[in-house]
Amino acid sequence: MTGLSREDIARRAAADLWDGAVVNLGIGVPSLVANYVPAGREIVYHSENGVLGVGPSPEAGKGDPDLINASKQLITLMPGASIFHHTDSFVMIRGGHIDLALLGAMQVSVEGDLANWSTGDEKMPPAVGGAMDLAAGARGVYVLMEHTTKDGSPKIVERCTYPLTAKRVVKRLYTNLAVIDVTPSGLVARELAPGLSFAELQGKTGAKLDLANDWKPVSV
Amino acid sequence: MINKLVASMAEALKDVKDGSVVLIAGFGNSGIPVELIDGLIEQGAKDLTVVSNNAGSGRTDVAKLLGTGRVRKLVCSYPRTSGSVVFEEMYSAGKLELELVPQGTLSERMRAAAAGLGGFYTPTAAGTKLAEGKESRMIDGREYVLEKPLKGDVALVKAERADRWGNLTFRLAARNFGPTMAAAADLAVVQAREIVELGAIEPELVVTPGIFVDRIVHVPTPKQAGTP
């Protein structure tokens, strides 16, 4: 059971973005979201390195090395795009001008604590990038990630064991197995990957889940 | 007459001293002043503190500088990227001190230095390991961390276009840290792909006003970082 592809996770998350939303795309699966804009909506994608109006990836062999996203992948610009320097970019981020940050994660806790910059392993140098600024400054944080680590350990946990990026910031999770809301009463699974049972999902999750009464299969 | 153009890379970097704090613009491989970095390696200053968002990939530009062993300390937000082999070698061998700074805090600390401020309170990193040992305070019910200014002795910046007064424009998202770093260093050295006549850049389209720039060296065909 591998569930959704990385592209499908991105497509599913994009479907929840509203007309007019300003959305920062972080490193990893979130960077793929720029390829998916729901029909009939205008969404302004922000990249921390100084771009508003990120468009889809260029065709293979095209693109400009000075147009990249946080993942350092080539991007295009939408009509209406703007380019600005780093300090202004983080004025937008820290100052609450970004509606939503879509970020990757190493661990997310029941309370929405986010850990995505360090495993605490002294031999593995850490890398924080813009994650702490985004977690502190965006008006909302959603996480897009694989449900478990490569060796199958849960990334959704009761308490993060890795150093935190920020406390109580994650509101929703999109994984290859489910869409899960972080609520005051705990984690609520809203959608499950097609063919996956709730018991299987719970078995791959390191914290107690509730199943929403109106749950449905993920549709992409 | 004001003329910040210099004839050679050697002249542009002639008085960079050992122990300098060197701000190097760029994000990923975009906006990295490759030729200025090569010039600094040639110039030979050592015991440097380098401030840069990433730590280079492969063995060119920022990675090449780290590999010379002349960098004592790296102040950086995201050193570990695909291909950051030199950083990982130097770090794991204990030959390089790392100060990890959240990206927005890194940029704002340099802006504070440029703006003559003694620091600022930011919500970024509050309550995390990266705020340990730093003063914090509650402001309107929220925790903020005191961050101090980060001033450069030298900034190395890649611009697209420059005039002899130092007015600059940048190419696409290669702008990134350039404007802030130019303003935050005592000596801002710029490599520009094109040198234009005074007045050729529309005043309202100047991105970095010339007063933030000290020296300009013409590099008509700049290399993109990360390419051999």
A50 touches chain B (CB under 8 A): yes
Contact B107 A90 (CB under 8 A): yes
Size of interface A-B (CB pairs under 8 A): 132
Q: How confident is the model at residue B103 (pLDDT cuts 50, 70, 90)?
A: very high
Residue B228 has pLDDT above 90, yes or no: no
Q: How far is A35 from chain B (nearest CA, A)?
A: 19
Q: Is residue B220 exposed (0-12), middle (13-18) or buried (19+ Cβ within 10 Å)? A: exposed
Mean pLDDT calculated for residue range B164-186:
98
Is the CB of A133 less than 8 angstroms away from the CB of B30? no
A6-169, what's its fold? Glutaconate Coenzyme A-transferase (3.40.1080)
pLDDT in tens, B4-61: 999 999 999 999 999 999 999 999 999 999 999 999 999 999 999 999 999 999 999 9
Going from the N-terminus, what domains does chain B have, and what CATH number goes with each? Answer: 9-218 (3.40.1080.10)
User: Which of A67, A127, A163 has the CB atom closest to B80's CB atom?
Assistant: A127
Is B28–A86 a contact, with Cβ atoms under 8 angstroms apart? no
Please give the pLDDT value at position B31.
98
How is chain A split among helix, strand and coil, in percent rounded to 5?
Answer: 15, 30, 50
Between residues 81 and 140 of chain A, which touch chain B (CB distance below 8 Å)? 83-87, 89-90, 93-94, 118, 123-133, 136-137
3-class DSSP assignment, residue B118: coil
Cβ atoms of residues A197 and A205 within 8 Å: no
* Nearest chain A alpha carbon to B225: A65
Read off the pLDDT band of B194 (50, 70, 90). very high
Name the helix (H) or strand (E) containing B179. helix B178-184
With an 8 Å Cβ cutoff, are B80 and A125 in contact? yes
Q: What average pLDDT does the segment B187-210 reach? A: 98
pLDDT value of residue A123: 77
Boundaries of every domain in chain A: 6-169
CA distances from A6 to A29, A90, A105, A147 (A): 6, 27, 14, 11
Q: What pLDDT was estimated at residue A172?
A: 98
CB contact under 8 A, B27 and A67: no
Which candidate from A65, A72, A83 shows the least CB-CB separation from B175? A83
Which of B111, B129, B181 to mutate to probe the A interface, most A CBs <10 Å?
B129
| Residue among A87, A164, A165 whose CB faces B107 most closely | A87
- Among partner residues B29, B79, B207, which is closest to A65 by beta-carbon distance? B29
Q: In what order do the strands lie in the sheet with A107-109?
A: A114-115, A107-109, A156-157
Q: Do B77 and A130 touch (CB under 8 A)?
A: yes
The chain-wide mean pLDDT, for chain B, equals 97
Determine the residue among B124, B134, B223 to mutate to test chain A binding: the one whose Cβ has the most chain A Cβ atoms within 10 Å. Answer: B124
- Chain B residue closest to A67 (CA)? B173
Q: Do A133 and B105 touch (CB under 8 A)?
A: yes
CB contact (8 A) between residue B130 and residue A47? no
Contacts of A123 in chain B (CB under 8 A): 92
- B55-100 pLDDT, tens digit per residue, is 999 999 999 999 999 999 999 999 998 899 999 999 999 999 999 9
- Nearest 5°: phi and psi at A68? -135, 165
Interface check A44 vs B, CB under 8 A: no
Closest approach of A51 to chain B, Cα-based (Å): 7
Q: What is the pLDDT of residue A1?
A: 53
Q: How near does any CA of chain B get to the CA of A114, in Å?
A: 11
Is residue B219 packed enough to be buried (19+ CB in 10 Å), middle (13-18) or exposed (0-12)? buried
Q: Which residues of A touch B122 (CB under 8 A)?
A: 94, 136
Q: Which residue has the tokens 């965006």?
A: A138
Amino acid B226: pLDDT: 85
Structure tokens at B113: 């230095």
Dist. CA B22–CA B44, nearest whole Å: 13
Give the minimum alpha-carbon distance from B21 to chain A in angstroms, rounded to a whole number: 20
pLDDT at site B14:
96
Looking at residue A72, its pLDDT comes to 95
* pLDDT for A2: 75
B28: closest CA of chain A, how far (Å): 6
Counting as low any pLDDT under 70, the low residues of chain A are: 1
Interface mutation target, options A27, A48, A66, A77, chain B, most CBs of B under 10 Å: A66
